[in-house]
Structure 1
Amino acid sequence: MNRELHRPIARAITAFFLVILIKFAADMTLKTLEFYSYVDIALSIAVIIILLKFRVEFNRVITNEDSRSIVTGLVLTLVIITLYATFRPYSEFLPYGTYHIVFFLLLMAPLYYLWEVLHKNADRFSELFVLTEKRAICSCGWENPASGRYCGGCGSPLPERK
């Protein structure tokens, strides 16, 4: 993996570790439930900030636009789920089901965005997850099965494989 990719990942892991330490310290020391809920909200907002900073830093390093879209969609999904879990105890002040419906609709936007990107690139993902035979690339750039003798793009003979 590229060293530039390590930096945003390492920063995010370090920040999450510090948030977990703060959460652990709050669990051990805070006995007042009211104050603990405020700390929980503050830590959730810190997690959201960490996720959004990670998205910006990681997308700055990635060159492929579709990969950037996938990272953005995943991060936004995690942000919405974090917001949902953070403020769920306060959903009783809203009419029944409104809170859940609103967050469901909010969650559908990044999930549809992810689905669109993944659907557009389904052929690339199938090659990653399915064991396929090796490919021979012609001088014209066309990918051919290794068992082929001639290029499917330009028709020129492919080099012999040993």
Structure 2
Amino acid sequence: MGLSEAPLLFDFEVASSENFTFIPMSVRFNLDRFGLRISLEQWQLLPLEDRKLLARFPVEDDAEIEPNFDHALFEMLRTHANVEPEWFTPEEDPAWRRTDSVPEGVVRQAGLASLPVPGVAQWADLPPFKRYVLAKLSRKPEANHDFIPAMKEFGAAG
């Protein structure tokens, strides 16, 4: 599977990414998938076209599908920021991969947002990348401003 023709952005991200000033969910997914961490400052040191290119990589749950994301990121950061991303060991069985229960963070965020919690069947029906996004937006105990728009966009807000 190759690069998409355009950067992969959800509707709720168009405003919140502020023209790639912030790291889009597709890039966050691939960073987590490959066990790479970059700072917002490092992201912003990359030229806009490089940031858009990184957002065109596939968001499949199989790291073998597109193994060049990490190489591209390393090259871009070396060239434009003279830094390398940090490595970490990706979580083996993240909650978003599970389809037999809704992650606690999503339940908590739904409560904070006064939204109904998605049922297990509704959660299981979401594509893996959308489950990842909702779990990522739910990782902190305080309300996330993108959670409600994401839930509505994904049809998971009741």
| TM-score, scaled to structure 2 | 0.22
Determine which structure has more spread, i.e. the larger CA radius of gyration.
1
Which structure dedicates a bigger proportion of its chain to helix? 1
| TM-score, scaled to structure 1 | 0.22
